[in-house]
Every structure is written in C-alpha cells, then in structure tokens.
Structure 1
Amino acid sequence: MKLKLLIVLFFGILVLPLIPEFSFAEYADIILNSKAESMRKAFVNDVMFPHWFHRIRFKCKVCHEDIFILKAGANDINMTMIMNGEKCGKCHNGIIAWEPLYCDRCHSWEPGWTPGPVQFSKKVK
C-alpha cells in the first residue's frame, strides 16, 4: 500500500507541473543593453523587452530557437534586421503585432530603473 502511494506521489510530482493550470511562473523584463553607436547617434534608450508579456501570449518555441538563440548575448539585433522582417520584425510587422515605427515602445529603459519580478493577480496559463 505504501509503495502504491509513493508511486502515485512520484508521478504526480512529475506530471503536475506539465499541466498549465498548475504551472506558475513569473517572467520579468529583460534589458537589452546595447552599446551600438547607431543607438547613441539616434539618442534612443536601451531596449526594455517585456519577456513576460510575450510569454503569456506565446509558447517558448514560437521565438526560440527559430528566431532567437536561447542564450544571453547571443543574438545580434539591429533596426535594419527588424525592418527587414528578421528577429523582432518576424512578428512586429504590422500584421501580427504593431510595426516598429514608434521608437519609445521598445527603447524605453531609463537608466537607474531596475526591473523586478512581475506579480500576477491570478494564474498564468
């Protein structure tokens, strides 16, 4: 009897996190800190990427590994690529998501601001 209980508990612990209703996570913002000369010449801030905002709408595989490499600093991103439909431009094309015409929507990080964990009022699926 104890063995059956242990087996049920063991598999329950393995399977439960795979069910969306039982998967809880918080996805914080990511600062894409670029020292690109073009950013400095354009007088734009670094990019504040709301990973959590994208993650609650799309599964990881939508972006990783086809569009972005899943490693910090491994993705070279610039506005030419985005405007040509690469990287962020795959979705930010005016059809799936808004076009990259408004600089401050992405280049919104203010020096001194530190992103913290996102607090949800209910479960995120």
Structure 2
Amino acid sequence: MSTILRGVGHEVEIVDNGAAAVRAVDTGTYDLVFMDMHMPIMGGLEATTRIRALPRTPDRPLPPLVVLTAGVTAEERERCRAVGLEVFLSKPVDLEMLLLTAATVGLPDGEGDAHG
C-alpha cells in the first residue's frame, strides 16, 4: 500500500502497532489514517477509540480514519461503526479502491498525506 500511495505522490508514514498510531496522531498532523483492525499491542478498535478522544484544535483536526480488515462481517462492521470507523477497505486491498479512498476521504482535491 505504501509503495502504491507514494508512487502517486502521497507522503506515507507507517507505524507498527496501535499504540504507536495513537502517539503519531497525537503529535502529528495527518490528512488520513488507514487503521488496520488487527495490530500488535493495541488493536484498531481501541486505537481508534483513543484517537477519537485526543484533544483537537481547528489547525489540527481529527483526521478521517479508514479501517483495513480481512473480516467484513456485519458484526465487525457494527463494531467499527461503534467507535467511529465508517469507511472500510477489505484485505487484500484492491488497488483502485485504495487510490479512490485516498483521493476522496478527507484529502482536499485528492492531494495530501495518507498515513497508516
């Protein structure tokens, strides 16, 4: 995913666990976060809950969060929606859907940074 996104001009930062994702969003400014459901240390649902609780300012708004998951059952979708994850990308991620999501979810005119 990062190679594809970088190839079309997005800046990408990768973290290796959910706790690191929370720290990154708390200290950085992002246009979009791709959140994997199953990460070590802290899963995507808990990380999303903590990210949504972070204090934000007008110059550092909460970035849109897109969930990446292999399981897209109705139950999993409901658990995601309960913590504020509304946009889903199923794994393996379809190239066209990845680029469309990066271009339309929270990125003005399809330009900016994609992180995950």
- Give the TM-score, by structure 1 length: 0.25
- Give the TM-score, by structure 2 length: 0.27
- Structure 1 or 2, whichever has the larger Rg, is 1
Structure with the higher strand share, 1 or 2: 2
